[in-house]
Structure 1
Amino acid sequence: MTGEQLVASWLASLQNERRLSPHTLRAYTATGHRFLAHIAEAQGRPADLQLLATLTAADFRGFLSARRTEGLANVSAARELSALRSLAAHSRDRHDTPFPGLDGVASPKVKKGLPRPISPTDARALADTTGEMHDEPWLQARDTAVLLLLYGAGLRIGEALSLTGEILPLAESLTITGKGRKQRTVVMLPLVRDAIEQYLKLSPWPVTRNTPLFRGAKGGALSDGVLRATLRKARTALGLPETATPHALRHSFATHLLARGADLRTIQELLGHASLSSTQIYTSVDTARLLDVYKSAHPRG
């Protein structure tokens, strides 16, 4: 089996079985092909399954070192290594060919940064202004509805854009299938329900049980790239920082719930985190916010 065939079967399994997000798939695809090209150049011949199984820890470190000369930071190097470990697991499980050399490669140390939430006022302004970037009323209503869904229900952008007409008619709660096909129930606030219903009323595209809820201008499924591009314009117009992204709205959802007294277990369930440790970072976010308020308002701050 060639290296290209191995990578192709790996990517197919990630898409069809693990159902990774398009963003992650693009990143893993790039890593797989970069790695094969590096090994082919270093070894003097195209990489096949037999060659990959004989690679040493030094060979894998050589790939990461070459990537670092291109300016790769620790967090990105760790992501590249994670992709290679996933490829190795696929080779072991599907082709009974492990990559033992990877066992001797340690992950780069990554300093975990805090999420950067935005205020409730800015979150609503960002949702409204992103909609206002369009001329057509139904497109305005669409973008506002999507972003309010991220902020009001804590959805990932991929989760919101994968919704279909199956969720209609809207109720007070919604079942979401997130990462790893794990399901969770989120609350649908009246503000969010009203925004979605307004979009559906204006949209020229009928929504059936199996069609996308949020449509692009030509009727296909709305892509996250289109939404992100429009949001960037709105962010600039509002003078918000680059950290005001769709995912920041999800962070804001969690941080504002915590500030209002919600417990971590509840937030974990609403966000769909597999472990509580992923949710506990929001306690640091809230503490950081309180310290900022203290320093700016206290006379001895």
Structure 2
Amino acid sequence: MTAPSPGPHLLERWRAHLADNRRLSLHTVRAYVATAERLIDFLGDHWGEAASAQRLADATQADLRAFLASRRGDGLTNRSTARELSAIRAFLAFVACEAGSASAPPRIRGPRLKRSLPRPIAPDDIMALGDSMAARNAPAWVQARDWAVLLLLYGAGLRISEATGLTGSVLPIGETLRIIGKGNKPRVVPVLPQLRDAIAHYAALVPFALEHDQPLFRGTRGGPLSPALVRRAMMNARRLLGLPEDATPHALRHSFATHLLAGGADLRSLQELLGHASLSSTQIYTHVDAAHLLDVYENSHPRA
């Protein structure tokens, strides 16, 4: 028989904590609450007694391993298991605080994840994105805006948040841009002539005043451009061009790095351009380039 739960109030407080204090997205809040609910139900059966906040705060490594083994039996992949474990740790830390316990959640090693390699997009396909923007049924300034943002991701290696976070203070665009990246880390990136032209073209068409301290890229009502709209523009473009589903805005940044490395850029310079805190984050691109060369060999060499 299933043991009684500790009541809905714990889960509601957990939900409120995630949404109000940690300000997580609605999707993440739902996933974390669902994980907590599964853990409470499992441990109630596992212990044969109600999984109260105090009892949860005293959960052991063996308890958590039993839960994860049960979830793996449900068909969870390594990556999904790692996400589940992350949610469990956060929930048990919250529960310990609620119960007034000074003990930390038990340490348990998650599954080893294979680091996936980004797929670069061919330069010709990237340039074709500009033509696809012009083919859309949208105002000319919106077409120019979307192309300028996507070109920033490929031409300067920016993250979406960095591109949409630019203000009118960058105008007129010079030969470099100063970017404030993750962790408020500043970096300077060069701006190619094509990119300067694309941003200047957008700035000449946009129907809103681009004040010094206001967002450079605007939505149709004049507010800041949402990253979701950038992703939607890329999705529509790749479908029009017949590009694969992994041709995302972030893949443009990967392509920037991969193409620079293939052209002879060294890892330290690439690290600075991408704004990576550590060189290990940049070294993945050496594997990307090797994979690209292997593809070229297999598709082109007469003895392959």
Equivalent residue of 2:198, what SS? Answer: helix
User: Once superposed, what is the RMSD of the aligned Cα atoms?
Assistant: 3.1
Contact 2:57 2:99 in 1 (8 A): no
Aligned partner of 1:191 in structure 2 is 194
Q: TM-score normalized by structure 1?
A: 0.83
Contact 2:144 2:202 in 1 (8 A): yes
Give matches, 1:281-296, under 5 Å: 281-296=284-299
Q: Distance in 1 between matches of 2:69 and 2:131?
A: 45
Q: Does 1:177 align with 2:180?
A: yes
Cα gap change, 1:192 to 1:205, in 2 (>3 Å): same
1:120 aligned partner, one-letter code? P
Aligned partner of 1:20 in structure 2 is none
Give 1:186 deviation, angstroms: 1.6
2:149 pairs, out of 136, 146, 149, with: 146
Q: Does 1:261 align with 2:264?
A: yes
Q: Distance in 2 between matches of 1:134 and 1:221?
A: 21
Q: Distance in 1 between matches of 2:219 and 2:296?
A: 41
1:137 pairs, out of 103, 118, 140, with: 140
Cα gap change, 1:70 to 1:146, in 2 (>3 Å): farther
Q: TM-score normalized by structure 2?
A: 0.82
Q: Does 1:56 align with 2:60?
A: yes
Q: Percent same amino acid at aligned positions?
A: 50
Q: Does 1:76 align with 2:80?
A: yes
Q: Distance in 2 between matches of 1:99 and 1:177?
A: 38
Give 1:142 deviation, angstroms: 0.7
Q: Distance in 1 between matches of 2:166 and 2:146?
A: 14
Q: Distance in 1 between matches of 2:52 and 2:270?
A: 46
Aligned partner of 1:155 in structure 2 is 158
Equivalent residue of 2:106, what SS? Answer: helix
Residues 162-183 of structure 1: per-residue CA shift (max 9 Å, x gap): 2222333322222222222222
Give 1:196 deviation, angstroms: 1.3
Aligned partner of 1:218 in structure 2 is 221
Q: Which has the larger radius of gyration?
A: 2
Q: Distance in 2 between matches of 1:143 and 1:122?
A: 16
Contact 1:116 1:243 in 2 (8 A): yes
Cα gap change, 1:239 to 1:167, in 2 (>3 Å): same
Contact 2:148 2:202 in 1 (8 A): yes
Give 1:249 deviation, angstroms: 0.3
Aligned partner of 1:30 in structure 2 is 30
Cα gap change, 1:117 to 1:90, in 2 (>3 Å): farther
Q: How many residues align?
A: 291
